[in-house]
Structure formats: structure tokens, C-alpha cells
Structure 1
Amino acid sequence: MLVYRGFSQTAPSATVLTVGNFDGVHLGHRALLARLKTAAVDAGLPAAVLTFEPHPREFFAPESAPSRLSTLREKLELLADDGVDLAHVCHFNARFASLSAEEFVERVLLGALRVRHLIVGDDFRFGARRTGDFAMLRATGARLGFQVEAMDSVTLDGERASSSAVRDALQAGRLEHAARLLGRPYSIDGRVVHGDQIGRQLGFHTANIRIKHERPPLQGVFAVEVKGLPGGPHQGAANLGYRPSAHQVLRPLLEVHLFDFCADIYGAHLNVRFLHKLRDEMKFPDYDALKAQIARDVAAVKQYFQM
């Protein structure tokens, strides 16, 4: 997949395009991307996505913006996995936010992305003060020579598949439900870094994984699968949070105790898939109590994998 940042370079050819934040790339997004790929193959053109960084809600109201489901890198990897040929990452700033709906169509969709066929969600709004909508796009497309179609929402047992629904499920510890909305287990990527060796002192070696999520959508102790190591995926128990009982950290830290695996993996880039939540983080009075709880957690996770 080719990735362009900004609009200094125009698309290499006319495109079949969709536009959105695609946070988490859930079942609704994936249905839209499947339709995009089909239309692109039919037209003999690349399947292209326009997405934004940061998320517009982070720009307009950073204090109340929701947790991100995926970093930019994770999102681009997921888009590539779903067959996208070309991704344009728009830096969402005051200048871009001030574009009128008409300017967005003429300068971005037509000028930079050379859109021939546009596919959007049924709730798509755009332009300054969100004045642009599907009716405006369809009328403009008829006038300027590009086709526009809308995708209906995807529902699962009556619930609309959305980033908000996935986020709510993760925050509530309903990981299996989140996986159904995503079409895969929720995962976080990160690189293994050196830690303070607390896990080793407690008898449970851990891989300390630096993540780029400022506010991950879930915290606690989990059963996980880890991809990115030889012979994987590997099963393990993970803690994601701030370690209130051992050298509390200011940024969230992901620590994974891998079962039946022992190797130097510093620097490895791993993908951690969250399968089941055991409990929230807890503060323990001393290391003996913490060690005893970790032993119970590891036993519970192993039992989960045996079910």
C-alpha cells in the first residue's frame, strides 16, 4: 500500500475513494472497504482511502476526545490488510478544518485525490461546520463528473458496528463482544524495551512493551496471544496500565508474561491480541501479596486457554 501525507503529491491516477477516520477498522469499516475494493477492481483503478491525523475530535476538543482504538501505524496496517492500495493521511489542523464543503470537494477530492467514484458511510458529513452531506456530494458529482454512493451501517444483533461501540465494550471488559464488532480480537502493537526487572524479581519474566496509545481503551489483566516472535503466536498473561503496586508509571505500560518462551527479544515489534479480561488493576500492600496474585492470574489464564 502506498501512503501519502498531505496533498503536496496528487494521486498517481484517478481513484475509487472512501473517506473516514477508520479508528479500529471495525466490521462497518471493513464492509465499506470490501465494497471499495470491488468498485476499484470493476473500474480498473486503485482503491484509495483518505484518513485524518489527528482524529478531528482530538483537534476540536482534546480534553473530551475518546480513547483511540488504533494508532496511525496500526490503522494503516489494518487498511492494507483489507486491500487498500493507496492511503492519503491528511494532517487535520485549523487550515484544513476551515475548508468549506465546496473547497473540500474541488481541492481535495478532485484536485489531490482525482476521485472518479466516491463511497461514503450513510452518516458522512464534511467541510467547515459539517455543512456537506451525501445529497451535496451526489449533486456535485453529477455536475463535475464523479459517481457517489452511500453504504448503510452494519449491525450485529441489532447493534450498530461503530468505533464507539467497540470502545464501550473494551472499557466494560467485554473483549469477546469487542472482537465480534471488530471481526478479530482487539490488539495493540509495540516494541519490547528494557524495564526495571520487577517481574523477574517476582519470578515472572515479562516483556515490557512500549505502546504509543496515550489513553488505551482498556486496562487491567488479560489473557493474550502475541504475534511477531518465532514459533508464534504465543500465549501469555498481560497487565496494561500504571502498575500501582510496583514503581507506578505515568504513561500506560503493557507487560506480557509469555508461557513456555525464553529468549532475548529486546527491540522486537510485537502485536498483542487481547482475548479475555481477568480483572482490573489493583494496589497490593507488599510484593508478597502482588506475587501471590500474579501466580493466581497466570493459573487463571492457563486455564482459560485450556477451555
Structure 2
Amino acid sequence: MHCWTELGQVPPGFGPSVVTIGNFDGVHLGHRQVLTRMVADARAAGTRAVAMTFDPHPLRLHRPDRAPELITGIRDRLELLAETGLDAVLVQPYTWEFAHQSPAEFVRRYLVDGLRAATVVVGHDVRFGWQNTGDLSTMVELGAEHGFTVEVIDDVSTPGAHRRWSSTWVRELLAAGDVAGAAEILGRPHRLRGRVVRGDQRGRDLGFPTANLAPDSDGMVPADGVYAGWLTRTAGRDPAPSELMPAAVSIGTNPTFDGATRRVEAYVIGRTDLELYDDEVLLQLVERLRPTLRFDSVDELVDTMHDDVAKARVVLGV
């Protein structure tokens, strides 16, 4: 899959293409269903399948107080988009200059001249151009003017579901600690990715050495608690990056020790020999085992940690 970070990187003469536009945060099952269908249609028509997305999220500029916490960082978003079979993704930097384009300017510059769209795939609620003045009827009119068709997609959900699949729903579930529920919409376990940094090293003293993720790690951090999951080293030393290791993951401030800083730390089950400092790791959270608790003694904490590991083994089947 080609990945372009500005319109000027699109090769001259690229296309014709089928283009869809969106944030695609989390690349959940609704996104994947639409994108895989779009890819199949593009293949049948002999065209290219392209997604246009934005970095940062538009609300970071327009309403920073209302900007959502992103489910996935841009790297994971691109990896997940690539899995749908797309030919290319244009990651458009969302700047004030870009935002000030009129709907007609955006369509001509990006969809017509840049990506040579034969078909544009949008939702019923599509908005584009300065102050969101462009809507579905505007896109259809501009399509007729420039020679591309507009395909409107319906909301996607599981049969009998009470609401459509959406990034908003995933965020609500993660905020409640329901990573298993989020996985049903994402079609995969929720991911956190970041560099391992040094913590207080209390876990090592207690017999549970942990890998602490840097505060600037990618992925929405779910509610405080203890989770069963998988850790993969994606950049660094041995073991090979492909090794999937079972883990018990703690998220919270460590109230037993009067901690004030919220942290994500993972204990790789049965491993006290790992050296992960400064390596990049990927955490996949499978199930929440319990909320964060304050213990009256270190012995009580250690006993509970042993129980957490036992429960994590059952959940992960190891």
C-alpha cells in the first residue's frame, strides 16, 4: 500500500480511483466492511482504491476542548488500513490552510486533479470544505460537474445491534474498561504502542518486573484496572519482534504506594529475564480482570498479583 503524507507525493497520472474520506480512528469493523467492499468494487472496475484521512484529527484545530482521544495512533491506523487491501492512503496534514478551502476547491484540488476520482464513497452525513459548508448534495453536484459518481454508504452494524459501529462507541467502552466489548466492534484486541521507560522498579522487587510505557505512547488508554493481554516487542533487541508474549497489564496510579502518575505497565507472565528498556512494544488488551484497588499491605498486594496472573493465564489460554 502506498502512503502519501501530502498531495504532492501522488504520482502524476495516478488513477482513476475510487476514493473515500474519513478519520478511520480505530479502523473498526464498520470501516473495514466499507473499505473491503470498496476495494472489491475498485478491482472489478480496474481502478485504484484510495482512502484519504487526516492527521491530526480536525477537532484538534477547530475545537480542541472537544477533540476525542484517538483509539489508534497514525502508525497503527495505517497498518490496519493496509489490511483491507487499499492501494493507497493519503494522510492529509490538517492545517488551517487546508481547512480554509471551499468545498469546490477541495473537490477540484484533491479528488479531481490529485487522485483522479472516478467514484467518491461517502456517508449520508458527509461534511467538507470551510466551516463544513459542503454536504452530500454538494458532493453530488460537484461530481456531476467534474465527472465522478458518488456512492452513499449506509451505517453498518451487527444484526440486531442497538446502534451502529462507530469510533465513539469504542471510546465509550474503553473509558469503561470494557476492552472485550471494544474488541467486538474493532474486530481485534485494542492496541497500545510505545517505548518502554524506567519506572519505580517496585514490580521487580515484588517478583513481577514490568515494562512501563512512555506517557506519549499511542492508543487510547482504557479505564484503570488490571488486564490480560499480549505484549510484542516491535523494535529493539531479541527476542524477535514477532514473538507474542502473555502479559498481565496494570493501568493506574498505584494507590497502594500513594502514586500520583497514571501509568501503563505490563508484566510478561513467567519472564523475569527480559530487558525491554528503550524498546518499542505493542500491547493488545484482551479482558479486564479487575479494577484498580488500594491494599492495606504489600503482602496483600502480592497475593492479589499472583491471582491476577493466574486469571490472565486462563483468559489467554497459557
Distance in 2, matches of 1:286 and 1:148, equals 64
Distance in 2, matches of 1:64 and 1:253, equals 24
Question: 2:293 aligned with 1:282, yes or no?
Answer: yes
Q: 1:269 aligns with which of 269, 277, 280?
A: 280
Question: 2:173 aligned with 1:169, yes or no?
Answer: yes
Shift in Å at residue 152 of structure 1? Answer: 1.0
**2:212, 2:263 within 8 Å by CA — same for their partners in 1?**
yes
* Secondary structure of 2:313 counterpart: helix
Question: 2:100 aligned with 1:98, yes or no?
Answer: yes
Name stretches of at least 5 consecutive residues in structure 2 with no aligned partner. Answer: 234-238
CA change 1:241–1:73 in 2 (3 A) is farther
- Hey, what does 1:135 align to over in structure 2? 137
* Secondary structure of 1:83 counterpart: coil
Distance in 1, matches of 2:2 and 2:184, equals 29
Q: 2:126 aligns with which of 124, 127, 135?
A: 124
**2:228, 2:248 within 8 Å by CA — same for their partners in 1?**
yes
Deviates more, 1:100-109 or 1:35-44: 35-44
**1:137, 1:148 within 8 Å by CA — same for their partners in 2?**
yes
Distance in 2, matches of 1:213 and 1:242, equals 19
Shift in Å at residue 284 of structure 1? Answer: 4.0
Deviates more, 1:160-169 or 1:226-235: 226-235
Question: 2:186 aligned with 1:149, yes or no?
Answer: no
* Secondary structure of 2:66 counterpart: coil
**1:9, 1:112 within 8 Å by CA — same for their partners in 2?**
no
- Hey, what does 1:258 align to over in structure 2? 268
Output one character per residue of 1:28-48: Cα deviation in whole Å (capped at 9) or x when no partner: 110111122112212333321
Distance in 2, matches of 1:258 and 1:282, equals 21
- Hey, what does 1:26 align to over in structure 2? 28
Distance in 2, matches of 1:284 and 1:97, equals 51
CA change 1:295–1:24 in 2 (3 A) is same
Q: 1:299 aligns with which of 310, 314, 317?
A: 310
**2:28, 2:166 within 8 Å by CA — same for their partners in 1?**
yes
Shift in Å at residue 247 of structure 1? Answer: 7.5
**1:27, 1:181 within 8 Å by CA — same for their partners in 2?**
yes
CA change 1:218–1:17 in 2 (3 A) is farther
Distance in 2, matches of 1:86 and 1:247, equals 48
- What does residue range 185-204 of structure 1 map to in structure 2 within 5 Å? 185-204=189-208
Name stretches of at least 5 consecutive residues in structure 1 with no aligned partner. Answer: none
Shift in Å at residue 215 of structure 1? Answer: 5.7
Distance in 2, matches of 1:100 and 1:23, equals 25
| Aligned residues: CA RMSD | 2.4
* Secondary structure of 1:205 counterpart: coil
- Hey, what does 2:40 align to over in structure 1? 38
- Corresponding letter in the other structure for 1:4: W
Distance in 2, matches of 1:111 and 1:276, equals 47
Shift in Å at residue 151 of structure 1? Answer: 1.2
Distance in 2, matches of 1:76 and 1:247, equals 39
**1:10, 1:114 within 8 Å by CA — same for their partners in 2?**
no
Shift in Å at residue 95 of structure 1? Answer: 1.8
Distance in 2, matches of 1:64 and 1:115, equals 32
Distance in 2, matches of 1:112 and 1:86, equals 13
- What does residue range 99-114 of structure 1 map to in structure 2 within 5 Å? 99-114=101-116
- Hey, what does 1:51 align to over in structure 2? 53
**1:69, 1:217 within 8 Å by CA — same for their partners in 2?**
no
Distance in 2, matches of 1:201 and 1:145, equals 68
**2:28, 2:185 within 8 Å by CA — same for their partners in 1?**
yes
Deviates more, 1:188-197 or 1:169-178: 188-197
Shift in Å at residue 199 of structure 1? Answer: 1.0
- Hey, what does 1:10 align to over in structure 2? 10
TM, length-normalised to structure 1 = 0.89
Shift in Å at residue 278 of structure 1? Answer: 1.8
Distance in 1, matches of 2:290 and 2:144, equals 55
- Hey, what does 2:236 align to over in structure 1? none
Deviates more, 1:223-232 or 1:94-103: 223-232
TM, length-normalised to structure 2 = 0.87
Shift in Å at residue 212 of structure 1? Answer: 2.2
Give the aligned length: 306
Distance in 2, matches of 1:188 and 1:154, equals 26
CA change 1:3–1:218 in 2 (3 A) is farther
Distance in 1, matches of 2:38 and 2:296, equals 55
Deviates more, 1:59-68 or 1:73-82: 59-68
